[in-house]
Amino acid sequence: MPDWLNAIILGLIEGLTEFIPVSSTGHLLLAKSALGLPDGFWDTFCVLIQLGAILAVVALYFQRLWSMLIRAPKDPEARRFIASVLVAFLPAVVLGVLLHDLIKEVLFESPRLICWSLIVGGVALLAIDRWPPPARRHDAMKLGLPTALGVGLMQCLSMIPGVSRSGATIVGGVLLGVEKRAAAEFSFFLAIPTMAGAFAYDLYKSRDALNLDQAGLIGLGFLVAFVSGLVVVKAMLDFVSRRGLAPFGWWRIVVGVAGLVLLAR
């Protein structure tokens, strides 16, 4: 299969899975393995194209986010929102830098770990959807700093491929009393600095290994992830409000079990 088609397939998977709690990284790495793509560049590709999906959030929430930024010097509420996102972001910064090589060189290379993470995460989603704690917070832009920090600590679990960044942050928010839709929305906001930081750091670490031909493939995957991400972000909040998290839990379990069966052959 030509590399440009591989780039489109992986970009589509990234955009469709980044914002739903099924683990975009897990799906990307399993797809990479199924397509027979070598390690190295394609692992980096899977990280770098995530910025395309994140820009979809920036595009859709631009007015609200820009309003918060320009109001921040005079509006305490705007400053609290910005602070909540930064506080939630900090744990991932520290652990991401410390564990970068372990994540890329060990955890990314374990399809069985990814499958088991998908299954365990699926069971967790089914449980939190069936027995959610009482919701005390209903506005993603008005979370307290302790709640934001708790969500940020939960996000660190997503450094294990297959756990899901959005899944970890949504479950963390719900456990801390955030209503499901608001937890999903805060997960979107937190994704912006988290994935932008991962993109910049991985690009820096891989700068000597990339060439112009590979830049074209990354650009193609980036574009496909952006467009498909726009579609998913628009639909995600309404879907969670209507159907909850259980469908994603069952999907994770099915994919994880199927992956284990294929690996056992």
- Enclosing H/E stretch for 37: none
Look at residues 22, 1, 6 and name the one whose alpha carbon lies nearest to residue 239.
22
Query: What is the model's pLDDT at position 105?
Result: 62
Q: Domain tally for the chain?
A: 1
Q: Which of 230, 217, 255, 229 is nearest to 50 (CA)?
A: 229
| Tokens 């805060």, residue located | 186
Predicted pLDDT at 248: 94
Predicted local confidence at residue 104, as pLDDT: 62
* Tokens 């959005």 sit on residue: 166
Distance CA 255, CA 2 (A): 25
Residues with Cβ within 8 Å of 186's Cβ and at least 6 positions away in sequence, in order, are 84, 88, 140, 143, 148, 151, 169, 173, 178
Q: Is 197 exposed, middle or buried (0-12, 13-18, 19+ CB in 10 A)?
A: middle
Consecutive 10-residue runs of the chain (265 residues): their mean pLDDT? 91 91 86 86 83 88 91 93 95 82 65 89 93 91 94 90 89 94 92 86 74 83 93 85 90 93 84
Give pTM, 2 decimals: 0.85
End-to-end CA distance of the chain: 23
Going by C-alpha positions, the residue among 76, 63, 46, 95 that lies closest to residue 194 is 95
Domain that holds residue 46: 3-264
Integer Cα distance of 142 and 140 in angstroms? 6
Per-residue model confidence (pLDDT) at position 179: 93
pLDDT of residue 211: 73
